[in-house]
Structure 1
Amino acid sequence: MSQPTTLPSHRTAGEPPVVREPAHVPLAHVVRAGLVEGIHHGSVVVLAADGSVQFQAGDIEAAFYPRSALKPLQAVGLLRAGLPSLDDPALALVAASHSGEERHLAAARRILATGQLAEGALRNVPDLPYGPAVREEWIRRGLGPTRLAQNCSGKHAAMLLTARTRGWDLDDYLDHGHPLQRELAATVEDLTGQGIAHVTVDGCGAPLFSVSLHGLTRSAARLATAAPGTDEGRLAQAMREHPQMVSGSGRDVARLVRAVPGLLAKDGFEGVQIAALPDGRAVGVKIADGGDRARMPVTAAALALCGVDPEVLAPFAATPVLGGGVQVGTLHAAGALARQAS
């Protein structure tokens, strides 16, 4: 397993988060027939419109890897670095963990075609489509893993296009010392307001920067409140108007964005979620065990603290626990978060 690599110092955005084992707390309970069967620990932060911390539970200042929740920041970095103009669905795909639907593959091809780039230039890890239904159909057709079907192909296509536009080398665009990656790191530091603690390699092969949950959530608020026409504003508009391009048909994040007017949201592997409203109210969630099932109920409870209508959040606030094919309980937010949200 590769060890984290300290990023060469180029910071102007403040000190990096504290490197320590996070002090997570119980955030969600799995309740079966009235008894708590399981507990998901984690950390959560809710920011008020003025950027102050309205609520926190767990450790919001420790360094952690946001995984794909970092993609919107990387997308802004690509725009700042010279990514040519894209249509809004394709721009949304740059920040996506897509399901591998045909519209996703088509948008990735459009990004590559803009720079006259071939699919073979991609350096992300080949994979089957992320969406279960799409994956099953893919396998029925006898298709195997490809770089285009992998859920990060939009980001990688945009990295290649930006590197070509700037005249940078394409073969090593994933090296953390590449000029492209150094510009993306600078954008992450700017938007989070803090230095990067470590850089390692994400599942797709791209550099992954560690920040704090507080810093990540602060960056989501900055994107959500950005003026139209700015790089941040352009990306936020694309993500809001095309949530199905950021995730996929039926995915919970796309449904949440459609349900809450003006919401900007992105999930990440290992139980990470950010969401922000147009006035700057924002939430950040990290589930300690990386399990995905607690991510959305905790996010819904946090958004309730932001003043989002509980009726709108009801479909996301609890996950049924089944026994014999019928519901016998729920997975829902617990502890101080649940008390505050009720």
Structure 2
Amino acid sequence: MTSSSTATAIRPVLAEVVRSGFVEGHHRGSLVVLAADGGVELALGDPDAPVFPRSANKPMQAAAVLRAGLELSGERLALAAGSHSGEPFHLALVEKMLAEFELPATALQTPPDLPLDPVEAESYLAAGRVRDPLTMNCSGKHAAMLAACAVAGWPRQSYLDPAHPLQQLTREVVEAAGGERVTHVGTDGCGAPLMALSLTGLARAFRSFVLADPGTPERRVADAMRAHPEYVAGTRRPDTWLMRELPGTLAKMGAEAVQAVALPDGRALAFKVDDGATRALGPVLARALAHLGVSSPVLARIGDAPLLGGGERVGEIRAAF
């Protein structure tokens, strides 16, 4: 057995699947919780191993477009840092951002997709619409990247190349925020370069954004996300609920069951469920926030992950740490 498979085998159960009183499955992973002073308060599994944060890297990508000279604020900046649900107000703002910088929709190199939110996807299909690059949940980020290239005079066609000046700048921002070197660069689902960090580095990055000096790109991103969380996610998404109900909190999930959160005083957390099961995100997140001392009704809302049998609730996914 390799050292890598050994590390995976000993990672703890973060959540368990309980059906009709019977534990039928487990979700293992790694988690780190940082105290207000930045010290590690809780570490489960291997939080110092590199992972792909997926869309949890978007705040750093948004800070990079600001550092490239793009002027964004408010809902536009929140959308640039978000994974939108494909609700009408999301799509309208992406279109408006492209128009403001005289960019054609065809410049987007996001893959054609349906709205991320299942309710929105059903309405979208019922209206006879088809998959579209603009509808893909990362289109706000891509619109901002293209606009940054236009402002900086950088090539637009190659904006997703890891060697492109914007992506090199993004890497610098990721490494500075996380306090560690990027160990691997891959390709995210949207086609953008994806920079690996440890979960500890990811938690440090989110902590650095909420504690950054006012007016800096990092703080501007954090402030925009917290002021307009519905543009970071959507009206039916846990990141939105959390930032709405706990003022000053910065939250962003990523595909393959990654989550990062920072509280305004510098407490932070990050985790990844190894099997990528997003159904475990809410229960694990709620338990981790409770460990940080957070007490709010929103934790019950986020942590509730029912299992159905015959259309009725017969169990749940629940945290197991």
Shorter chain as denominator, the TM-score bin is: over 0.9
Other-structure match for 1:72: 59
Q: CA deviation at 1:102?
A: 1.6
Q: Does the 8 Å contact 1:90/1:110 carry over to 2?
A: no
Give the distance between the partners of 2:114 and 2:23, measured in 1 at CA.
36
Number of equivalences: 316
Q: CA deviation at 1:226?
A: 2.0
Corresponding position: 1:46 with 2:33: yes
Other-structure match for 1:61: 48
Residue identity matched to 1:36 = V
Q: CA deviation at 1:310?
A: 5.4
Give the distance between the partners of 1:217 and 1:93, measured in 2 at CA.
21
Describe the superposition over 1:171-193 as per-residue Cα deviations: whole angstroms up to 9, x where unpaired: 11111101111000111011001
Per the alignment, in what secondary structure is the counterpart of residue 137 of structure 2?
A: coil
Structure 1: state its 5+ residue gaps: 1-18, 338-342
Other-structure match for 1:318: 304
Q: How does 1:1-342 map to 2 (within 5 A)?
A: 20=4, 22-23=7-8, 24-84=11-71, 86-309=72-295, 311-334=297-320, 337=321
Give the distance between the partners of 1:95 and 1:83, measured in 2 at CA.
14
Describe the superposition over 1:146-189 as per-residue Cα deviations: whole angstroms up to 9, x where unpaired: 11111000110011010111111111111110111100011101
Per the alignment, in what secondary structure is the counterpart of residue 299 of structure 1?
A: helix
Residue identity matched to 2:60 = L
* Poorly superposed stretches of 4+, deviation over 6 Å: none
TM superposition score normalised by structure 2:
0.95
Describe the superposition over 1:167-223 as per-residue Cα deviations: whole angstroms up to 9, x where unpaired: 111111111101111000111011001111111111111111111111011101111
Q: CA deviation at 1:317?
A: 2.4
Q: CA deviation at 1:324?
A: 2.9
Q: Does the 8 Å contact 1:20/1:63 carry over to 2?
A: no
Residue identity matched to 1:176 = P
Aligned CA distance change for structure 1 residues 113 and 222 (closer, same or farther; 3 Å): same
Give the distance between the partners of 1:170 and 1:324, measured in 2 at CA.
51
Per the alignment, in what secondary structure is the counterpart of residue 169 of structure 1?
A: coil
Report the more deviating stretch, 278-287 or 250-259.
Answer: 250-259
TM superposition score normalised by structure 1:
0.89
Q: CA deviation at 1:30?
A: 1.1
Report the more deviating stretch, 203-212 or 314-323.
Answer: 314-323
Give the distance between the partners of 1:174 and 1:321, measured in 2 at CA.
40
Give the distance between the partners of 2:308 and 2:131, measured in 1 at CA.
33
Structure 2: state its 5+ residue gaps: none
Per the alignment, in what secondary structure is the counterpart of residue 56 of structure 1?
A: strand
Per the alignment, in what secondary structure is the counterpart of residue 294 of structure 1?
A: helix
Give the distance between the partners of 1:247 and 1:268, measured in 2 at CA.
11
Percentage of identical aligned residues: 49
Q: CA deviation at 1:20?
A: 4.6
